[in-house]
């Protein structure tokens, strides 16, 4: 369960949550949530699903079965961006898309210059 604890910690940090806020969102006591973070306890299936729903991820990601994601914090960053954009007005979403496109083009140019 070390993988679960590591990925859970990464998700909580990347999403900018305190441990107590993450526990509250999952409907867990801080102590119980800390046991999962410390890899001293394993969640049952229902608790695992609640944790995943509260963090916007899947059990595969937190348990390390997502073979396509070699950097577990990448998924957490994508979830964080997605959650931030959920309530944004259309004009903001369009601006964010344009800015992201510019950043990606710039990073490709910079990488090819190396």
Would you give per-residue pLDDT tens digits along the chain (114 residues)? 799 999 999 889 888 899 999 999 999 999 999 999 999 999 999 999 999 999 888 898 899 887 655 565 666 677 777 777 878 899 998 898 889 888 888 877 665 555
Report the candidate in 56, 63, 109 with the shortest Cα–Cα distance to residue 83: 56
Q: Which domain holds residue 72?
A: 2-86
Helix (H, G, I), strand (E, B) or coil at 67: coil
Q: Does a structural domain hold residue 112?
A: no
Provide the domain count of the chain.
1
CATH of the domain at 48: 1.10.260.40
Place of tokens 């994508």: 78
Tokens of 36: 């999962």
Global confidence as pTM: 0.65
Q: Does a structural domain hold residue 54?
A: yes
Q: Does a structural domain hold residue 109?
A: no
Q: Does a structural domain hold residue 48?
A: yes
């Amino acid at each position: 369960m070390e993988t679960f604890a590591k990925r859970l910690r990464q998700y909580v940090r990347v999403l900018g949550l305190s441990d107590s806020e993450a526990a509250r969102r999952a409907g867990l006591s801080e102590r119980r949530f800390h046991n999962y973070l410390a890899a001293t306890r394993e969640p049952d299936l229902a608790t695992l699903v609640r944790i995943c729903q509260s963090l916007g991820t899947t059990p595969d990601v937190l348990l390390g079965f997502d073979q396509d994601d070699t950097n577990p914090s990448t998924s957490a960053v994508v979830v964080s961006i997605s959650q931030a954009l959920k309530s944004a007005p259309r004009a903001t979403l369009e601006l964010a898309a344009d800015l992201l496109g510019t950043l990606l083009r710039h990073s490709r140019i910079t990488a090819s210059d190396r």
